[in-house]
Amino acid sequence: MGSLTLRTQTPEQTRALGAALAGILRERDVVLLTGELGAGKTTLVQGIVAGLGSADHVQSPTFTLIREYTGRLVVAHVDVYRLARIQDVVDLGLEEIGEGNALLLIEWGDAVQDILPPERLRVTITTFDPAGSDDARQIELATEGPSWEARWGLICTLANAGSPA
C-alpha cells in the first residue's frame, strides 16, 4: 500500500486534483472518500467527473444516496452518511450500477469498507489553516491492492500536476 499527501489552497485546485486523478481511474474502481463535513469530498468528485468528460452538474448525494454521471466511465457517486445499517448499503445494489462496471466514489466510505472490494483508493481530506485560509485542504491518497500498486507511479505524478505541496 502506498500513500501520498497533497495540499490544495482553493476549491478550484481541489477540482483540478480530481480532474488529474480521473485520468488514472478505471471501470469498477472503488474510491473511498473520507473527511469531516464540508471537507471537500464533493468538490473533489466534481473534478473527477469533469475530468472524465462529463458536463453533468455534480452535487452531494446526501439525500438521494446515489447520483450517476456518465463520461469516459459511468460514475456512481454514493453517500452512505445517513445509512444506519450495512444492509442498507447492500440494498443499494452498487455492484449493478453501469451493468456492474461503474466507478464507485463513496463518501463516508470508511463506514462500509468491510463490504467493499479490498482493491481501492482511499482519499482522506482534511482542512488545515495556513495563514487563515478556509479553503486549504490536505488530501491523502492511499492505495490498497495489486491493481493500485501497478498504478502507483501514476498516482505519484499527481504531486507534480499543479498541486502545491
Residue located via cell numbers 478505471: 26
At residue 135, the pLDDT reads 86
Higher pLDDT, 161 or 9: 9
At residue 163, the pLDDT reads 47
Cell of 58: 455534480
Structural domains of the chain, ranges and CATH numbers in brackets: 3-160 (3.40.50.300)
Least confident piece of the model among 8-12, 36-40, 51-55, 89-93: 89-93
Average pLDDT of the residues in 32-56: 94
For the chain, what is the largest distance between any 2 Cα atoms, rounded to a whole number of angstroms? 47
pTM to 2 decimal places: 0.87
For the stretch 106-156, pLDDT in tens is 988 777 777 788 899 999 999 887 666 688 999 999 999 999 988 999 999
Cell of 84: 444506519
At residue 128, the pLDDT reads 82
At residue 91, the pLDDT reads 67
Bridge-based pairing state of the strands 3-8 and 74-79: unpaired
Are 53 and 35 in contact by the 8 Å Cβ rule? The answer is: no
At residue 164, the pLDDT reads 46
CA gap 61, 104 in Å, rounded: 13
Residue located via cell numbers 473520507: 34
